Homo-oligomer: A and B are copies of this chain.
Amino acid sequence: MVRSIAIYDTTLRDGTQGEGVSFSLQDKLNICERLAEIGIDYIEGGYPLSNEKDVAFFQQAQKLSLGKSLVCAFGMTRRRGMAAADDPGMQAMAKAGTPVCTIVGKSWDFQVTDILGVSLPENLEMIGDSIEFLGRGCEMIYDAEHFFDGYKANPSYALQTLTAAASAGAKWLVLCDTNGGSLPNEIADIVQATLQAVQGYDVQLAIHCHNDGDLATANSLAAIDAGCAQVQGTINGIGERCGNADLIAVMANLGLKRTGFELLGGRSLEPLTELSRYVYETANLQLRNSQPFVGQSAFAHKGGMHVHAVNKAAHTYEHLNPSLVGNERRILVSELSGRSNIVALTSKHNIASDRALMDKILAEVVRQENLGYQYEAAEASFDLLVRRCAGTFSPHFETIKYRVVAGDRDASTGCAFAEAIIKIRAGEHEFFDAAEGQGPVNALDAALRKCLGGVFPELEQMHLLDYKVRVVNGDAGTAARIRVSIESSDHKHMWGTIGVSENIIEASWLALIDAVEYKLLMHEGKLKPSEQQAVATPA
């Protein structure tokens, strides 16, 4: 028997309470569309009472094509001593005009009396009134805040809050583990007992977990097994403190690791990896490489022994085919690389049989890593390292000297500037030129193109996509080594290069020249890069 599980996404509301998360109005609309594309059932768009951006979101969301996905407005129960119709929160939610409204109410007696400052019966009225009022215009969902803590403290009251909501017309009762500290068996037992208690009502249960105990995914699955038919969370598990349940992990487990569940209307889960990265980039957060299912490292093999086996039979070291979630297998370079890793990565150079060269490359990788280099996201720089070790690399140009001058000429009016002055040699000729830019790397890049653009017109197609800076070996404060990673693109391919130095300008220059050299090699047909990273192995 197949159970259909509804997916409720609160990336745009609960997710925004995560440290460092900030979405613009357009960001929210974009993410909303992406969520609808993959088939998310409910998209909680925001909290209209709390800020103008959310009010605008609900207005503009009405113009989006969202298929069967339903947008939900979120808010609290009406204030004490006020009719629902007069409550500003209720009015804001009604005005949002969404097909669904989600009301959060207190289900823990202590919270009712000590935080809200109302009596237990009054709280039940507040819940019922709010749901009934808004229910005239839309589908109602009741979020039972702190339900598990509330049930442990006073089970009968916690259940009364649910039945009050159900009686007033709520279609879903969401059991929230708001503090995130419940254990899987507690969740299972309480969900089971609750299911019994609400049997007579036309209502279903949903689960909303937080990750404070590192158990949000397990708790969500336990709740579903115990009878919840809807699961709430955020993409990538972003959210306050340790985050909400990671919907990606929950959906991948339900859809690919378990049987007997249907979700997302039966759609494929392949878009998950791209969706994950889109949300991180839009939220301006770092990707989490080790994230289950969709992280860059989720199917990245490093130990020499494992890579050998993976090349032989993928299921020996992978619990899942990465392509099912839109991810891919990667082979890493590191000091632990046995011959297998280097063989895999250098396969296109046809040097596998040359043991001395393989050893030389491995030794060079170890040496560079000790200086702070890491080739895992800089496969183009690794490619050049291989060629240098093999003695097959002829640089297209040499650096003679370079400098950047940057600062502010008149701080009282704000005259920030950056200029790069470089001298390089290409073939018989020396080129000297200067360029301005928003910042040092921008200026160096512009100056390099001015010098080389005449000799290598293909550089016109190339541009810098992304630029990361990381301090490595940070003991000495600002005298530490800096690793600059650059991602370049020419509309067909993308490639990563790095440079390390105690001087950020030097580190930037080293990463830049590798990027340009790699582009020139590609243009000459000396490489066969895949369409994405230079050496990713398709799953």
Could you list which residues of chain A lie within 8 angstroms of chain B, going by C-beta atoms? 16-20, 22, 24, 50-51, 76, 110-111, 114-115, 146, 178-184, 211-215, 217-218, 221-222, 237-238, 240-243, 246, 249, 252-253, 257-258, 281, 284, 286, 288-293, 295-306, 309, 312-313, 316-320, 332, 334-336, 369-370, 374, 376, 398-412, 416-418, 437-442, 445, 463-474, 477-480, 482, 501-506, 509
Contact = CB atoms under 8 A, between A and B. Distances in A.
B319 A407 contact: no
Q: Which 7 A-B pairs have the closest CB atoms?
A: A181-B319, A403-B407, A218-B218, A214-B249, A399-B411, A469-B469, A464-B477
B478 A471 contact: no
A407 B319 CA distance: 48
Contacts of A471: 466-469
B214 A300 contact: no
B111 A17 contact: no
A318 B180 CA distance: 8
A439 B504 contact: yes
Copies of this chain in its oligomeric complex: 2
Contacts of A111: 309, 316
A101 B439 CA distance: 55
B290 A211 contact: yes
Nearest to A295: B242
A257 B183 contact: yes
A478 B442 contact: yes
Contact of A438 (B184, B465, B479): B479
A49 to B, nearest CB: 11
Contacts of A505: 406-407, 416, 418, 439-440
A442 B289 CA distance: 31
B110 A316 contact: yes
A401 B406 contact: no
Contact of A407 (B214, B404, B469): B404
Contacts of A290: 18-19, 211, 237-238, 241-243
A301 B240 CA distance: 7
8 contacts: A214-B249, A240-B297, A241-B299, A242-B298, A399-B411, A402-B411, A406-B503, A437-B478
A179 B318 contact: yes
A364 B441 CA distance: 30
A296 B284 CA distance: 18
A376 B241 CA distance: 13
A505 B212 CA distance: 39
A292 B180 CA distance: 10
A72 to B, nearest CB: 17
> In this complex, which of A182, A237, A309, A411 has the most chain B Cβ atoms within 10 angstroms of its Cβ?
A411
A162 B50 CA distance: 59
Given A214-B292, A416-B506, A410 B401 contact: yes
A368 B448 CA distance: 34
Nearest to A420: B407
A480 B303 CA distance: 37
A407 B418 contact: no
Contacts of A408: 399, 401-403, 506, 509
A76 B304 CA distance: 13
A257 B213 contact: yes
A253 B214 contact: yes
Contacts of A215: 217-218, 253
B20 A303 contact: no
Nearest to A289: B19
Nearest to A338: B50
A9 to B, nearest CB: 17
Contacts of A298: 212, 241-242
Contacts of A469: 469-471, 482, 504
Given A18-B290, A213-B249, A478-B439, A406 B407 contact: no
A400 B411 contact: yes
A20 B242 contact: no
A51 B243 CA distance: 39
Contact of A181 (B22, B179, B257, B417): B257
Given A50-B304, A406-B440, 8 more contacts: A19-B289, A19-B302, A76-B305, A115-B312, A242-B297, A242-B298, A284-B474, A439-B482
A298 to B, nearest CB: 6
